Amino acid sequence: MSEKQEIIKQIMELQREFIEIEQNGKFSAEQYYDTEGDTALAVNKRKHEELATRLVDLAHEEKGSHR
């Protein structure tokens, strides 16, 4: 599996986890918007952002349009 495929797989899993967390509704509005804390929601969002950024970087490398 290529790095891109692995990242996409991980992003999809994080999205499933996020939906589960969101649907269970056991978090405050503050926790929902927190990206620096240690809640499952904050950790999920940080991981998602890191993977999405890496995926964009890979796309730029493929097209020769580095940032």
Check whether 62 has a pLDDT greater than 90. no
Check whether 31 has a pLDDT greater than 70. yes
| Domain residue limits, the chain | 3-63
The DSSP symbol for 24 reads H
What pLDDT is stored for residue 40 in this prediction?
A: 87
Check whether 64 has a pLDDT greater than 90. no
With residues binned 3-state (H G I as helix, E B as strand, rest as coil), the percentages for the chain, rounded to 5, are 75, 0, 25
Segment 6-10 long-range contacts (CB within 8 Å, at least 24 positions apart): 7/51, 7/54, 7/55, 7/58, 8/55, 10/47, 10/51
pLDDT-derived band at 66, boundaries 50, 70, 90: low
What pLDDT is stored for residue 67 in this prediction?
A: 55
